Amino acid sequence: MRRRHLRRGQPGPRRTDRSKVGTLVKLHLVNRSVLAGAVSVCWMLPVAAQDSGTAAAAQGSRPQAAAGDSGTEMVFGFSQGLEANDNLDLDPVSLGSTVFTSTELSFGLTKRTPLDRFGLLASGVLRGASGPGTQSGLDDQTLELSYGRLGADAEFKAEAGYRQTNIEFLEPLDNITDEDGQIDLPPDLDRLDGTGNRERYAAGVALELGREAPVGASFRADYLGLRYSDTSDADLFDSDRSEAETELRFRLSPVAVARLGLGYGLYEAEDEEQTRRDTSRGYAGLSVELSPVLRLDANAGYAAIDTREFGVTTRSSGLEALLRLERDMPNGTVTAEAEQYVTDDGTIRTLTAGRSLELPAGTLSATLGAADSDLGRSEIIGSLAWSQDLPRGGINAQLRRWVDFDEDDGNVLRTALLLDYVHEINGLSSIGLKAGYTVTDEAGGSTDRASFTAEYSYALTEDWSLKTGYRYRMREELAEARAQSHAVFVSIGRDFRVRR
């Protein structure tokens, strides 16, 4: 789960789950109505596909338009799959095996010009199931819209999305990286359990002006809403998150830029406490190139967090600061960073050092440090990322350990590991291995999640492909029995592309 505070000196709040808009609950109601209506229209298209992060993802992936300077591309996708799972609900004691077929249809549209880009994706899955843990029907209905426009010294982006998924088919560890490829966990990762329906509404808008001018400005607003129905886990509750940040930049010299910013966040949850959390932040910052190889970023500000639970409001406030040094090396960079920020559970302080290396056919970066909070706990934190191109494939691995603020559990210690490996056997076939593992340590105990997928792909023809493989999932909580599931799957599919 990503940190909830707004980082000064960064482009804006980082996404998880990618795209959100608005800072007011009223805006959420408008978004929800518009997106739900759009999805209803989407069902009428001769398309539908599932997200690559579902349990039936073995049938294929969503269509993606080819990158180009201009033009229009439409991609129709189809796949048919069969899967058998011995514990679909991921219960400590399995209720039995489930066999289901999945028909995946999808439609993607991308229109590009030299100045702007418009994208649309509509998808869904029709399942026929036999066994405990699920019912036949339409699932994983998705609609995503995006628009971007680039000017001479300005940029505008807008995104909106809706996704409905049956929780038993949702694979939360399959897609836990942000747009920069960094680990970014879903806000409800540790509570996704059992059966039921999950809806995700998200939208975001960003505007940047005067990027190279003496005076520039940027604005970003994001919204994320989660809705649950017919769930077997009482810990799943509806929530809304809204964030907005605006920043002014002043180019003092060719090597120095000053910043002034304000941020606001609102969190509301339909939990037992009826939680409402208002977060306000203000900061001033300075970025300086001390030499051709040495850069300094510094921010200082103040944050106030008002939290209402059971009708009683409490405040957490204090000073925030960030100091970062980065030095270029012949084969990478060296960094040192110190930060202090305020959460509802008190102030967190971190100190880290890092090194990145440019390898002959890849990259390697690592950080190591410590985090301390007002709760009296000091933890070792850090990260490791390795990417390597191989003669017949590639490997990507990430490890991250950090102190985070969870809206439901307060300050927690998280550890996440990702591994993705692809080996090309020949021009027609390949093997892929993908693994994910997360641990959340909090005052009340810990939650472990793991997943592993081994997949074999074979090109039947120039257009049609076959995929088959094995998937393992695990969930374990303190003082509770471990829940595991094993699945085998096979699918066949293809994409139809039309370019203009």
In this predicted structure, the answer to whether residue 400 has a pLDDT above a threshold of 50 is: yes
Using pLDDT thresholds of 50, 70 and 90, give the confidence band for residue 131.
confident
In this predicted structure, the answer to whether residue 6 has a pLDDT above a threshold of 80 is: no
Terminus-to-terminus CA distance in the chain, angstroms? 40
Is residue 348 within 8 Å of residue 363, measured between CB atoms? no
Is residue 287 within 8 Å of residue 257, measured between CB atoms? yes
Of the options 1.10.730, 3.90.25, 2.40.170, 1.10.1740, the CATH number for the domain spanning 25-499: 2.40.170
Angle, CA 421 vertex, CA 415 and CA 427 arms, to 5°: 165
> What is residue 256's predicted lDDT score, i.e. its pLDDT?
96
Three-state secondary-structure class, residue 59: helix
Exposed/middle/buried for residue 219 (C-beta within 10 Å: 0-12, 13-18, 19+): middle
In this predicted structure, the answer to whether residue 443 has a pLDDT above a threshold of 80 is: no
Distances (CA, A) of 427 to 392, 393, 424, 496: 10, 12, 7, 21
> What is residue 384's predicted lDDT score, i.e. its pLDDT?
96
Average of per-residue pLDDT across 180-205: 89
Domain ranges of the chain: 25-499
Three-state secondary-structure class, residue 36: helix
Using pLDDT thresholds of 50, 70 and 90, give the confidence band for residue 126.
very high
More confident residue, 252 or 1: 252
Q: Which two tokens stand for residue 106?
A: 């999808």
Distances (CA, A) of 254 to 251, 290, 292, 326, 328: 7, 11, 12, 18, 19
Using pLDDT thresholds of 50, 70 and 90, give the confidence band for residue 178.
confident
Share of the chain above pLDDT 70, in %: 85
Distances (CA, A) of 450 to 156, 306, 418, 475: 38, 35, 10, 7
Average of per-residue pLDDT across 389-401: 95
Average of per-residue pLDDT across 454-462: 95
> What is residue 376's predicted lDDT score, i.e. its pLDDT?
67
Of the candidates 201, 186, 169, 193, the one whose C-alpha atom is nearest the C-alpha of residue 54 is 169
In this predicted structure, the answer to whether residue 32 has a pLDDT above a threshold of 70 is: no
More confident residue, 479 or 53: 479
Give tens-digit pLDDT for 42-98.
333 333 333 333 333 333 344 443 444 689 999 999 999 999 999 998 888 998 999
> What is residue 480's predicted lDDT score, i.e. its pLDDT?
82
Cβ within 8 Å of residue 324, ≥6 positions away: 9, 296, 297, 298, 335, 336, 337, 338
Strand partners, 370: 351, 380
Using pLDDT thresholds of 50, 70 and 90, give the confidence band for residue 41.
very low
Q: Is 56 left (phi over 0), alpha (psi -120 to 50) or beta?
A: alpha
Cβ within 8 Å of residue 105, ≥6 positions away: 46, 47, 48, 49, 76, 77, 78, 123, 124, 126
Q: Which two tokens stand for residue 468?
A: 């088959």
Residues in the chain: 500
Average of per-residue pLDDT across 274-298: 97
> What is residue 470's predicted lDDT score, i.e. its pLDDT?
97
> What is residue 500's predicted lDDT score, i.e. its pLDDT?
85
In this predicted structure, the answer to whether residue 147 has a pLDDT above a threshold of 50 is: yes
> What is residue 14's predicted lDDT score, i.e. its pLDDT?
34
More confident residue, 160 or 63: 160
> What is residue 56's predicted lDDT score, i.e. its pLDDT?
35
Three-state secondary-structure class, residue 288: strand
> What is residue 406's predicted lDDT score, i.e. its pLDDT?
80
Give tens-digit pLDDT for 336-353.
999 999 998 889 999 999
What pTM was estimated for this model as a whole?
Answer: 0.82
Average pLDDT, the chain: 85
Using pLDDT thresholds of 50, 70 and 90, give the confidence band for residue 180.
confident
- Dihedral angle, C-alpha 266, 271, 274, 277, nearest 10 °: -20
Cβ within 8 Å of residue 254, ≥6 positions away: none
Distances (CA, A) of 433 to 174, 191, 297: 12, 26, 39
Give tens-digit pLDDT for 411-438.
889 999 999 999 999 999 999 999 999 9
In this predicted structure, the answer to whether residue 402 has a pLDDT above a threshold of 80 is: yes
262 membership: H or E segment, kind and range: strand 256-269
> What is residue 313's predicted lDDT score, i.e. its pLDDT?
95
Average of per-residue pLDDT across 375-386: 87
Give tens-digit pLDDT for 8-26.
333 333 333 333 333 333 3
Whole-number Å distance between alpha carbons of 260 and 247: 6
